[in-house]
Amino acid sequence: MKKYLLGAAAALAIAAPGVASAQGYVDLGYTSGEVDFGGPSADFDGWQLGGAAAFGGNGTVGFQIDGLVGNLEGDGGGDVDTYSFGGHAFTRNSSHLIGGFVNYGGADAGGGADYDYWTIGVEGQLYLSRTTLDGSVSYSEADDLDGELTAIDLGATHFLTDNFSFGGGFGFANLEVPGGDVDATNFGLNAEYQFASLPISIFGGYSHLEVDDIDLDSDAVSVGVRYNFGGSLFERNRSGPSLSRSVGFGRFGGLL
């Protein structure tokens, strides 16, 4: 299955540059937070480099390709490398978007403590006058963990101006592993502002994750800078790469 997903993502990457009027961004972010393991806790911080580009889709079939690479380091000295690469196919008009996606990612803590995962899902967006509602349903497998993850994610973004947005999201996932299953919930808040004279924006957010049964929860704050090409933040949301880059096991951010 993984080779077919990787092949599909590669096909999107090859086909997409031939389509005119690309919109996208490249960003660099920093995260700081704390994870609690049912009593003992640890601080962590890290960085993440990523980007996304979208081609077509307004009345026709469109594509988004995206990727993230990062590193998370705990106060005890250990660190985890993370990565995620995805491709989306969709169609949209002035009122909504409907599409599907594939994604491949992983986490590597060194010393053989690593896992890869693949994800497949469907997604959609509903466009109101200044607000976008979005949602997705996905299924993931991580062979190294012998785990399967089924997730539902919902979100909303409101635009105070074309270049100032704020929003939030909520997700629920069920993780099946040998011997049982656990539930995970996550929610977050975010905001972004793009300068009027430069295609540069700054963004920030807060996220909370809880994994029941193994008594794990974490809180994190993130900030970053983003270079945008192809218009305002509102235009990027309605005609550019507005679909989520973090799916499947990526919601754990290397903590699992």
Question: Token digits for 17?
Answer: 């540059």
Output DSSP code: residue 214: T
Global pTM value: 0.88
Q: Which of these, 176, 177, 232, lies nearest to 200 by C-alpha position?
A: 232
Which tens digit of pLDDT belongs to each residue from 67-101? 999 999 988 778 899 999 999 999 999 999 999 99
Residue 188 in this model has a pLDDT that exceeds 70: yes
pLDDT at 14: 44
- Distance CA(148)–CA(175), nearest Å, equals 6
User: 162-201 as b/e, with b when 16 or more CB fall inside 10 Å?
Assistant: bbbbbbbbebebebeeeeeebebebbbebbbbbeeeeeeb
Residue 221 in this model has a pLDDT that exceeds 80: yes
Homologous superfamily in CATH for domain 2-252 = Autotransporter beta-domain (2.40.128.130)
Enumerate the domain spans of the chain.
2-252
